[in-house]
């Protein structure tokens, strides 16, 4: 018999879980605290390892209408003069090697297609989980509006501040990392032409780096800039920063970058959080997934992709052991932990290497780019088939 699955959180990981479970013939209900799934966030990367799962959900074509495939590729530039330190063409090569493109998109466009893969009747909005326990008939969930639910298995996809994580592993609150992100969406008619190319461009400089790429079929350019938090503590996608603070952080950088920032008039500012790895991701038939299980710095652009992979593996494990959800989620954790740990470590290392001050270490880093082929040496990320891993 199919287990009743409750998914807590209707973000990328939660919606992907419900979609993959539904596809596997397992009934799943999503409980999301927000009253509406609104257009929050900015750009994100959907690499081939996630794109292949969107295709299997039947959603890739719809997603590709609004996303931008990185046909030209990746480019690294030096902060002071804009010199190109490294570039790699992706386009057909990526597709030939991994069967899918690498896309950049608005978070809302990804959420939209994931939501389309979940039956409307399976979504419960305005349900904030406030407590849970094991009862005689399954896992009992209490919501802030006084309602309750009972499930045979629970997926905690409730993000970095996870409530389910407190039940599973006594997860403490995340801590401030000392870094913050500035995020802008700039209309295409206000940016220099170089920023409209289908390229993910990364500018590297002392204590800072900045990434930009076009989204929304080229109608907007997403800019995300990282630097010292300088006491900023708000961690919310609706928190506004000051455009003059962003420009001050990047004062003295290359003229092209200054011209790009001149087109921005609103900026979101978000303190980056960090959390030590949890001792476990599962307890009985309850499993953590996505940022709830493994928050990561966004420097390798894999947060969303890893959450979608988690969802595919979890659904595969539950489909194989519908009679024993606790065994299924233990298998999910065993499959996912080593891989995600490796991606987390890579993301963390990038903080230091992206922010080197000018000097011998920076010059050694820049000259090492000459022999780089990230499309190949990150093949273990892009070539991974999460459904295959769970079969
Ligand atoms: C609002 C928002 C905007 C983001 N925008 C971007 C972006 O533009 N670019 C980018 O690269 N990354 C973005 N991220 C991060 C990225 O989406 C995640 O790293 C990644 O996709 C993992 O997703 P997740 O589903 O695990 O967690 P999240 O995306 O954090 O989703 C968690 C969901 O759980 C819900 N939730 C939390 N607590 C409860 C509770 N107690 N009861 C019920 N529901 C609960 C939240 O409302 C949220 O919808 C954003 C995250 C958030 C929350």
How far is 159 from 275, CA to CA, in rounded Å? 12
Query: Which residue out of 98, 213, 332, 382 is catalytically annotated?
Result: 213
Dist. CA 354–CA 362, nearest whole Å: 9
Atom of ligand 1 nearest to the CA of 164: 41
Q: In Å, what is the CA distance from 128 to each residue of 19, 32, 77?
A: 20, 6, 43
User: What pLDDT band is residue 173 in, cutting at 50, 70 and 90?
Assistant: confident
> Rounded to the nearest whole angstrom, what is the distance from the C-alpha of residue 292 to the centroid of ligand 1?
9
Q: Can you tell me the mean pLDDT for 126-144?
A: 97
Grade residue 261 by pLDDT with cuts at 50, 70 and 90. very high
Give, using CA atoms, the residue closest to atom 11 of ligand 1: 44
Kindly indicate the confidence band of residue 276, based on its pLDDT and cuts at 50, 70 and 90.
Answer: confident
Q: What is the DSSP letter of 357?
A: P
Give the residue, 349 or 12, on which the prediction is more confident: 12
pLDDT band at 236 (very low <50, low <70, confident <90, very high): confident
Q: Using pLDDT thresholds of 50, 70 and 90, give the confidence band for residue 97.
A: very high
Q: Is 382 part of the annotated catalytic residue set?
A: no
By alpha-carbon position, which residue is closest to atom 30 of ligand 1? 159
Alpha-carbon torsion 289, 293, 295, 299, what sign?
Answer: negative
Between the two ends of the chain, the Cα-to-Cα distance in Å is: 19
CB 170 within 8 A of CB 302: no
User: How many angstroms does the Cα of residue 83 sit away from the middle of ligand 1?
Assistant: 35
- DSSP-assigned letters across all residues of 228-249: E-TT-----TT-B--HHHHHHH
Which atom of ligand 1 has the smallest separation from the CA of 106? 8
For the ranges 52-56, 92-96, 99-103, the lowest mean pLDDT is seen at 92-96
More confident residue, 334 or 376: 334
Q: How many CA atoms lie within 13 A of 50 on its CB side?
A: 27
Q: What average pLDDT is seen over the chain?
A: 95
Nearest to 386, CA basis, from 3, 29, 13, 123: 13
Confidence of residue 170 (pLDDT cuts 50, 70, 90): confident
- Give me the pLDDT at residue 163, please: 97
Percent of the chain with pLDDT over 90: 87
What CA–CA distances, in Å, run from 311 to 180, 294, 296?
Answer: 28, 13, 17
pLDDT-derived band at 316, boundaries 50, 70, 90: very high
CA distance 45 to 134: 38
| Nearby residues of 47 by Cβ (< 8 Å), 6 or more positions away | 102, 103, 301, 302, 305, 381, 382
Residue 147 has pLDDT above 80, yes or no: yes
Task: Indicate if the pLDDT at residue 339 is higher than 90.
Answer: yes
Provide residues with CB under 6 Å of ligand 1: 8-14, 31-34, 40-44, 107, 128-129, 157-159, 163, 237, 290-292, 298, 303-304, 307
- Predicted local distance difference test score (pLDDT) of residue 52: 98
DSSP state letters, 158-182: --TT-SHHHHHH-----EEEEEEEE
Query: Which residues, in sequence order, are CB contacts of 229 under 8 Å at separation 6+?
Result: 176, 177, 178, 179, 180, 271, 272
- pLDDT above 80: residue 1: no
Q: Which residues, other chains included, contact 285 with Cβ-Cβ below 8 Å and sequence gap of 6+?
A: 3, 138, 139, 152, 153, 154, 325, 326, 328, 329
Return the pLDDT at 277: 85
What SS3 state is found at 135? strand
177-198 average pLDDT score: 96
Q: How far apart are CA 363 and CA 361, in angstroms?
A: 5
Burial of 250 by CB count in 10 Å (0-12 exposed, 13-18 middle, 19+ buried)? buried
- Ligand 1 atom closest to the Cα of residue 292 is 26
Beta carbons of 260 and 247 less than 8 angstroms apart: no
| Rounded to 5°, angle at Cα 12 from 222 and 26 | 155
Mutation pick for ligand 1 pocket among 7, 8, 11 (CB with most ligand atoms within 8 Å): 11
Rounded CA separation 149/158 (Å): 16
Mean pLDDT of 220-233: 96
Give CB contacts under 8 A, 24+ apart, made by 117-121.
117/15, 117/19, 117/22, 117/23, 117/57, 117/58, 117/59, 118/15, 118/18, 118/19, 118/22, 118/30, 119/22
pLDDT tens string 24-72: 999 999 999 999 877 778 899 999 999 999 999 999 999 999 999 999 9
For the chain, domains (ranges, CATH) are 5-69+103-173+275-350 (3.50.50.60), 175-274 (3.30.9.30)
Residue 175 pairs with which residues in a beta bridge? 274
Query: Which DSSP state fits 4?
Result: P
Q: pLDDT tier at 162 (50, 70, 90 boundaries)?
A: very high
Q: Select from 7, 9, 141 the residue to mutate for testing ligand 1; criterion: most ligand atoms less than 8 Å from CB.
A: 9
Query: 349 pLDDT exceeds 90?
Result: no
Quick one: which atom of ligand 1 is closest to the CA of 16?
25
3-state secondary structure of 85: strand
* Closest C-alpha among 88, 124, 98, 91 to residue 7: 124
In which region does residue 323 sit, left (phi positive, over 0), alpha (psi from -120 to 50) or beta (all else)?
alpha
pLDDT number for residue 66: 95
């Amino acid at each position: 018999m199919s287990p009743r699955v409750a998914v807590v959180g209707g973000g990328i990981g939660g919606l992907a879980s419900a979609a993959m479970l539904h596809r596997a013939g397992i009934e799943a209900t999503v409980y999301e605290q927000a009253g509406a799934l609104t257009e929050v966030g900015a750009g994100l990367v959907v690499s081939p390892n996630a794109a292949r799962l969107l295709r299997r959900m039947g959603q890739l074509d719809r997603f590709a209408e609004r996303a931008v495939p990185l046909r030209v590729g990746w480019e690294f530039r030096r902060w002071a003069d804009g010199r190109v330190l490294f570039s790699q063409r992706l386009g057909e090569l990526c597709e030939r090697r991994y069967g899918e493109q690498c896309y950049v998109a608005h978070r809302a466009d990804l959420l939209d297609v994931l939501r389309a893969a979940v039956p409307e009747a399976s979504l419960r909005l305005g349900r904030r989980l406030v407590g849970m326990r094991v009862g005689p008939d399954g896992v009992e969930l209490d919501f802030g509006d006084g309602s309750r639910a009972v499930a045979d298995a629970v997926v905690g996809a409730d993000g970095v501040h996870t409530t389910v994580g407190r039940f599973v592993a006594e997860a403490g609150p995340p801590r401030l990392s000392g870094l913050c992100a500035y995020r802008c969406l700039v209309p295409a008619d206000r940016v220099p032409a170089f920023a409209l190319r289908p390229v993910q461009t990364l500018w590297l400089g002392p204590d800072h780096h900045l990434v930009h790429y076009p989204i929304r079929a080229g109608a907007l350019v997403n800019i995300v800039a990282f630097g010292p938090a300088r006491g900023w503590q708000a961690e919310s996608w609706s928190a506004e920063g000051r455009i003059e603070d962003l420009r001050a952080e990047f004062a003295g950088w290359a003229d092209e970058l200054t011209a790009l920032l001149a087109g921005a008039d609103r900026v979101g500012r978000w303190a980056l959080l960090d959390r030590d790895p949890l001792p476990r991701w599962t307890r009985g038939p309850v499993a953590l997934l996505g940022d709830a299980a493994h928050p990561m710095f966004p420097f390798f652009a894999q947060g969303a992709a890893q959450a979608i992979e988690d969802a595919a593996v979890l659904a595969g494990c539950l489909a194989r052991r519908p009679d024993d959800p606790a065994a299924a989620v233990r298998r999910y954790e065993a499959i996912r932990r080593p891989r995600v740990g490796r991606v987390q470590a890579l993301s963390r290392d990038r903080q230091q290497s992206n922010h080197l001050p000018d000097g011998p270490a920076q010059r050694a880093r820049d000259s090492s780019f000459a022999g780089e082929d990230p499309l190949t040496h990150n093949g273990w990320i892009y070539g991974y088939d999460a459904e295959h891993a769970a079969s």
